[in-house]
Amino acid sequence: MLIALDVGNTNTVIGIFDGEVLKADWRIRTERDVTVDELGMLFRNLFDSRGLDFSKANNLIISCVVPPMLDTLENFGRKYVQTDPLVVGPGIKTGIPILIDNPKEVGADRVVNAVAAYDKYRRSLIIIDLGTSTNFDYVSPKGEYMGGVIAPGLIISSEALFQKASKLQRIEISRPKRVIGKDTISAMLSGLVYGHVGLIDGIVRRMIAEAGTDPLVIASGGLAPLVAVESETITEVIPDLTLDGLRILFNLNRTPRGQS
């Protein structure tokens, strides 16, 4: 089995593949100071919770945008999965040209999403990943990664309100009942969610006008369903996009252990 690990600044997404089948997935908080043995115990418990045998996990691919964690993650792979993990980064085969000024700058998660989306649709795409930041990536009709946009995410925006405005409290992001809030919390929710939807639709329309194509607009990430239902430009929501991209990249770069 393949463990696909996408480590973001706020959350870590874990997927377990048996061949092409996603057997289980989890979204957990990213803990920067986690140890190798803590990861080992965590994974054993996660596998047990779904009735999976951790000893059968013998392949590992990692996409990580938190550099201080990379050594720990790689050592976890060597100790508990008995393999040198494949790390998404410069030098691995992606199957798509990365046509930006410095390809080494593009985040691993953005490349992974582009690979997965183009493999699925084979057309021009705008991929929106709603995480700590909200990333917009454009893929050409030929499957070329052309660049994109990075904006503050919903969680960052919410935390900024809490930290910088003395009378505003920390809130949980949810769908507002109305635009015109009747109390402080509902007013904050309206501004955060509808403001972010406006940001997304505005940027997508500008990207389409500049690209001169008719891309499919895909949303991914934990907050994608919340935002997509209000958006006028998002046409598909694929929660497992990054995990599927990691599976594709692993198969493109390595023969899974246990297979010929």
Task: Point out the residues that are catalytic.
Answer: 109
Check residue 4 and report its DSSP letter: E
Cα–Cα nearest to 10, from 224, 155, 113, 127: 155
Phi, psi of 126 (to 5 degrees): -120, 120
* Distance of alpha carbon 65 from alpha carbon 69, whole angstroms: 9
Q: 109 and 137 in contact (C-beta within 8 Å)?
A: no
Q: Helix, strand or coil for residue 178?
A: coil
Residue with structure tokens 């997404």? Answer: 13
* Distance of alpha carbon 100 from alpha carbon 85, whole angstroms: 27
